[in-house]
Each structure stands twice: as C-alpha cells, then as structure tokens.
Structure 1
Amino acid sequence: MFSKYSKDYLFNGLIRKDHFFFSILFSISMITIAAELNIVAEAPFFFTWFTTGIGEFASLIVGAIIIGKIGKRIDLTR
C-alpha cells in the first residue's frame, strides 16, 4: 500500500515514511475499538477513539523507531 515510500525517511532518518503512514492509518482505525467499547461498556465514543488512537500511534511510532535502529545493525530479513 505504501511501498513506494519504503526508501524515504522523515525527521532526519529517524523513521521510514511508510511506517509513519501505517501508524496514522492504524490509529484512525481505532474507531472500531471505540465503537465496540461504546456499545458494550457505554464508554464515551470520541474520548475512547482519541485515547486509543493516540496510544496506538505512540506504540507504533516507538516500535518503528526501535526496529529501524536494530535493523540498521542486524539483518532482520533472514
């Protein structure tokens, strides 16, 4: 989906552009979790969507940065 950005980096080489775009996409998709929690537990929809989206975005960004740094030192393609 974002393979054309796999060689591009953001923030002075800190994170690949495709990983950043995937982080945004999956953060937005937390709408499904927010809807489930709203239906099942009567949690407030927009607050739940915001907090799960921010949490998902943060965890994906941190993970992408860590794996990117490890991948530069160790061949992870094997």
Structure 2
Amino acid sequence: MNTTSFKETPQSTVSEVAKTAIVAALYVAVTLLLAVISFGAVQLRLSEMFNYLALFHKRYIVAVTLGVILANFMSPTWILDVPIGGIATFLVLLICRAATKKIKNLVLKFVVTAVIFAFSMFTVAIQLAFIYGSPFWPTWFTVGIGELLSMTVGGMVVYSLQKKLDFTK
C-alpha cells in the first residue's frame, strides 16, 4: 500500500474535526469542573476563555458553540440555556470576529471581545428573570461582571498560551 499518496494537511477534515472536538471538550470539562460557579445569577464561567480562540480561527466558533451547548445541558435552567446560550454564543462570536477584524493589537482585540461578551449577558439575565423571577437589571449586572472577570482572567491565560501555541493553524 502506498502511504505517500495521502498527506494530512492543516486543512484536512480529520485535523479540523479533532481541533474542534478538543476545544469543545475542554470548554465542557472546565465548565463542569467548576460547575458550582459556572451557572446562576452570580457566575464565574472560566471556560469562557475559549471565546478568544474564535479571534484566531473561525473553526473555534463551532467548537466553543458546541462546548456551550453541551455544558449547558448541566445547567439548572438547561431547557432555555441550551438553545438560547448556544445561539447567543454563536452570534456573539461572529460579532466579535467582525468587530475585531481590523484591529491589529491583540490586547485591544481581547478587550473589545470581553466587553461585547459581558454586554451579551442580557440573554442570561432574561432567562433567569423568566425562570426564577430574578430582577433583570441587577441580574444582568452580576452576570455581566462575572463574564467580564472570566474573560479578563481567561484572556491572560489565552494571551500567554498564544505566545507558545499557534491558534491560527
């Protein structure tokens, strides 16, 4: 059998699916490992750091969205959290890629992404208001601050990792 006729390239389907699956699995693992702080009106979902990967390669939009959907099945509000969280994540990742496309400074890209994600937490506040009767504005504030904190800590981690790992490939 001639094994030289098949060469896996960075764009191969197997490589793309594997990278997507790894990031989705990491998102789920980090969320569930820290489940006690990953859900609710006051949350610190450190797995949100993976949102930054979408700035490096579009495959990570699917990876993170899939991770959010799977992790949200463990949410106490999963009935709304799975579809709304999945759709919101997908859309916000697209918005972040578009909003930061022309920004050259990576730190500024991260800051813009963190602010957009923190703002987008109104979707979580709406869910919690609907299911638990939580007051919308204070809930949006606490969830948004938690997201901003998660994205700040996660941004430092991803920023450090991108110096050693090429997330664009």
- In the superposition, the TM-score normalised over structure 2's length comes to 0.39
Matches within 5 A, 1:58-69: 58-69=149-160
Q: Does 1:4 align with 2:102?
A: yes
Q: Does 1:72 align with 2:169?
A: no
1:5-56, Cα deviation, whole Å (9 max, x unpaired):
1x315xxxxxx11111011111111111101111110011111100000001
Displacement after TM superposition at 1:71 (Å): 1.5
Q: Which residue of 1 aligns with 2:136?
A: 45
Matched to 2:154, the amino acid is G
Q: Structure 2: which 5+ residue stretches go unaligned?
A: 1-97
Separation in structure 2 between the aligned mates of residue 50 and residue 73 of structure 1, nearest angstrom = 35
Count matched residues: 71
CA RMSD of aligned residues (A): 1.4
Displacement after TM superposition at 1:69 (Å): 1.0
Name segments (4+ residues, structure 1) moved above 2 Å: 73-78
Q: Which has the higher helix share?
A: 2
Q: Which has the higher strand share?
A: 1
Alignment counterpart, residue 34 of structure 1, candidates 125, 129, 133 = 125
- In the superposition, the TM-score normalised over structure 1's length comes to 0.79
Identity of aligned residues (%): 34
Separation in structure 1 between the aligned mates of residue 121 and residue 166 of structure 2, nearest angstrom = 32
